[in-house]
Amino acid sequence: MQLQEILYSQGFGTRRVCAGLVQQGWVQLYGDDAAAPPVLCTDAAHEVVPEGLRLRVQGVDWPYHAKAYVMLHKPAGTECSQKPSAYPSIYTLLPAPLRQRPCKGALQGVQAVGRLDQDTTGLLLLSDDGQFIHRLSSPKKHVPKVYRVQLKHAVTAAQVQQLLAGVVLDDDPRPVRAAACEMLGPNAIDLTLTEGKYHQVKRMLAAVGNRVEGLHRWRMGALGLDATLAPGQWRWLTPADLALLGSV
Ligand code: URA
């Protein structure tokens, strides 16, 4: 694959911009020796094997990924929209190449797997792989998502039973059930949902007479939020992470 094409695939801009980056000396390539410094390449048409490639572009290391799969620790006060209305977009927390990866000819970048409310924190997955996004966000696939919920009022055993048995929300006569509900303390539960309705956790807790004061998603399928990621930080998913998600 030509170096300019690799840069384009990784989100470094239009083909013309990518060729320019190489020709103007902004791109270096690491070799097989992990300890060796990267080598400058100014030939935009230089043929490179992309798998395992590590680039250095404008001084920043960038490992080649055929598809992008990342986790973000979503902070409070951010919207999961490209066009946010009141708070900064979560996409501003990602580096430009992740926001510009080409998809069907457009530089649209990675997309969030479902959405979290502006005040919800925790695990958010993003990808440019449409099948992956569909598999994890489709209500039909029943991928369990675990939320740590802080409640205004002390939670009762009756409320837990109601959440497990099913509550009716205002937009659908069919009851929605929690797949699991664990009491963690007087005002905290872990709630597992396999659907993703609008404000589902908040509406379910309101339906049983309580109120959500804090909401944090810490697990999707078998994958937990990386505890080393501070709010606002992201990292690539590893093959082990992807295997965990594949097993859901
Ligand atoms: N349920 C909610 O109410 N809000 C979220 O952000 C996610 C699930």
Is the CB of 141 within 6 Å of ligand 1?
no
| Last residue in a domain, options 16, 39, 63 | 63
Predicted confidence at residue 160, as pLDDT, reads 98
The rounded average pLDDT for each run of 10 residues, N- to C-terminus, in the chain (248 residues) is: 98 97 98 92 97 96 97 98 96 98 91 97 97 90 95 98 96 94 97 94 98 98 97 97 82
Q: Specify whether 180 is located in the same domain as 239.
A: no
Predicted confidence at residue 104, as pLDDT, reads 83
Predicted confidence at residue 32, as pLDDT, reads 87
DSSP 173: E
Ligand 1 center–CA 221 separation, angstroms: 16
HSE value, Cβ hemisphere, 13 Å, CA-based, for 9: 16
Predicted confidence at residue 11, as pLDDT, reads 98
CATH of the domain at 35: 3.10.290
Q: Specify whether 8 is located in the same domain as 35.
A: yes
**CB within 8 Å of 87: residues ≥ 6 apart:** 77, 78, 79, 118
Predicted confidence at residue 248, as pLDDT, reads 45
Q: Whose CA is nearest to atom 7 of ligand 1?
A: 116
Q: Specify whether 21 is located in the same domain as 123.
A: no
Give catalytic residue positions. Answer: 117
pTM for the complete prediction? 0.95
Is the CB of 200 within 6 Å of ligand 1?
yes
Is the CB of 178 within 6 Å of ligand 1?
no
CATH of the domain at 215: 3.30.70.1560
CB atoms within 10 A of CB 61: 11
Q: Specify whether 32 is located in the same domain as 84.
A: no
- Residue 183 identity: M
Q: Are strands 121-127 and 212-220 parallel, antiparallel or unpaired?
A: parallel
Is the CB of 121 within 6 Å of ligand 1?
no
Ligand 1 center–CA 215 separation, angstroms: 7
Q: Specify whether 73 is located in the same domain as 126.
A: yes
Ligand 1 center–CA 210 separation, angstroms: 15
Q: Specify whether 32 is located in the same domain as 44.
A: yes
Q: Specify whether 59 is located in the same domain as 73.
A: no
Q: Specify whether 99 is located in the same domain as 157.
A: no
Ligand 1 center–CA 220 separation, angstroms: 13
Q: Specify whether 150 is located in the same domain as 204.
A: yes
How far is residue 183's CA from residue 179's CA, in Å, rounded to a whole number? 14
Answer for the pair 24, 9: CB distance below 8 angstroms, yes or no: no
Query: Which residue of 74, 170, 215 sits with most ligand 1 atoms within 8 Å of its CB, as the best mutation to test the pocket?
Result: 215
| Last residue in a domain, options 14, 42, 63 | 63
Q: Specify whether 135 is located in the same domain as 76.
A: yes
How far is residue 212's CA from residue 204's CA, in Å, rounded to a whole number? 9
Domains contained in the chain, number: 3
Predicted confidence at residue 86, as pLDDT, reads 96
Query: Which residue of 78, 149, 163, 202 sits with most ligand 1 atoms within 8 Å of its CB, as the best mutation to test the pocket?
Result: 202
Q: Specify whether 11 is located in the same domain as 110.
A: no
Question: Residue 130: which domain range?
Answer: 69-139+223-246
| Last residue in a domain, options 63, 80, 106 | 63
Q: Specify whether 126 is located in the same domain as 236.
A: yes
Answer for the pair 3, 46: CB distance below 8 angstroms, yes or no: yes
